[in-house]
Amino acid sequence: MSLKGKHAVITGGGSGVGAAMAAAFAAQGAKVTVLGRRLEPLQEVAAPLGGFAASSDVTNRASVEAALDAARDVNGPVQVAVANAGAAPSKPFAKMSSADFSAALGVNLEGVFNLWQSALADMQGQGWGRMIAVASTAGLKGYPYVAGYCAAKHGVVGLTRALAQELAKSGITVNAICPGFIETPLLEASVRTITAKTGMSREDAVKRLSAGNPQGRLIQPQEVADTALWLASDAAGSVNGSALPLSGGEI
C-alpha cells in the first residue's frame, strides 16, 4: 500500500486518530501535512515524520485555503485529503440552541466540504485523488443527546455518496470511515462527562460506551488509520462512495 511521494493532508492531525494517520501515511512514503487549530501539538506530530504542520480552522474556508497553499509550497499538490477534524458535544435536544446545532454542522460537516473542495482542483489536475472522511457510526444510526453530531455525520455520508458519483470517472475516489467509539482524547472527555453526571466509575463509563460494540471494546486509532491507508492506496481503487463501519458488528 505504498504512497511514496503522495501528498496527504489530514485535518485534526494533532492527536488521536489524526496523529495515528499521519504516522501511518508517512511510514508508507507519503509527504504528510497535518492541520488543526493549535500549532504546537501539530508540530509535535509532524516533526518526527518530516511532515508539515499548519494552523487552520476547518470551519473557515479562507483559513483552509491558506493552510493548503502553505502546504503546497512544501509538499506539492494535494493528492489525499483526509477530513478527520470533529467534535461531539453532548446536550439534550430540547436544550440545544441554534448556535449549538450550527457549530456541530460547522466542524463535522462544513469542515469536510471545505477541505475536499479546496483540494479538488489539485486532484483533477493530476487525474488521481483520494477524498476520505472520518465519519462515525453516528452517520449510520442515531444516538441520544448528540443530535447535532448525528445530523452532521449523516450529512458527511450523504456528501460522500453524492460526490463519489459525481467524480467516479475522474480518477478520484470518495469514501467515509464510520468508527464506533474510539479510544482517543475526545472519548476521554465523554467519559469525564458521564462520570461527573452519573457518579459512576471511569471503568463503568467506558463499559457503557463500549456496550454497543458486539466485541465489547473500543475502536483503536490505529484501526482507523490503517483503513484510511488502504482507502488511499491503489488496492482500493474500485472502492468509491462507501461508508465503511468499524464497529465490531454494531452496524
Give the residue numbers annotated as catalytic, written as ranges: 149
Task: Select from 25, 63, 69, 64 the least CA-distant residue to 46.
Answer: 25
What the block records as the C-alpha cell of 227 is 483503513
CA angle 149, 151, 152 (to 5 degrees): 65
Q: Give the up-direction half-sphere exposure of residue 79: CA atoms within 13 A in the CB hemisphere.
A: 20
Are 120 and 78 a contacting pair, CB within 8 Å? Answer: no
Question: Rg (Cα) of the chain, in Å, rounded?
Answer: 17
